[in-house]
Amino acid sequence: MQIIIKILIAINSFFCRHLCIMLSDANISNSITIRGKWAIMYASKGAQISIGDNVIIASGVFGNALSTGGRTVIRALSSGSKICIGNSVGISNSVIIARTFIQIQDGTLIGDGCLITDSDHHAIYPINIMKRNVNSEIKSAKVVIETGVFVGAKSIILKGVRIGKGSIVGAGSVVTNDVPPYSIVGGNPAKILHSDWRKVIEKTK
């Protein structure tokens, strides 16, 4: 049974990779691994998605033990928008949507059910929410997640945020401001819980 499951996962990974290349302007490494359901990746005309080597994407209930059944969705929505995912990144059943620019650097792990977006996607005032053409009120700002970051399950990373190298984002956090390198943040909105987790580890040795 385990052999059959592994064969099905390998077939799924192969076809998903090539489906993404046919449907969008995507530069996807041959070493990407997709576990579970097909991930959804789509770049609009003039947009770009780039995924590096040794990336593992979990999509669906069998992709991650914590999964509630969602898929991983990676979408570059507008002409000129770009999503850059580095090497050795892990993404579990999460949604990454860019109108301008999102970068996830090498060695970062994105937990189950996260949302990363660089835009409000619609007007924020109730009177204008239904006016989809009010582009002046739709704010966007690039998101950068630096190397070796861990983003806990069900976290939300909002527009204009830079998460520093080696940081840890606690599960269920809503990150609205920059996160310094090697810090631990948590809560809604996320606040700094430890300024440098390396010092915490040193104290326990």
Residue 121 appears among annotated catalytic residues: yes
171 Cβ partners below 8 Å, 6+ apart?
A: 111, 152, 153, 154, 155, 186
Alpha-carbon dihedral of residues 16, 19, 24, 29, nearest 10 degrees?
50
Q: Are 36 and 57 spatial neighbours (Cβ–Cβ below 8 Å)?
A: no
Q: Considering only CA atoms, give the Rg of the chain.
A: 18
Residue whose entry in the numeric block shows the structure tokens 């003039």: 46
Coil, strand or helix at 202: helix
Q: Looking at this protein, which amino acid is placed at residue 2?
A: Q
From the list 18, 121, 122, 194, the catalytic residue is 121
Q: Which amino acids are annotated catalytic?
A: 121
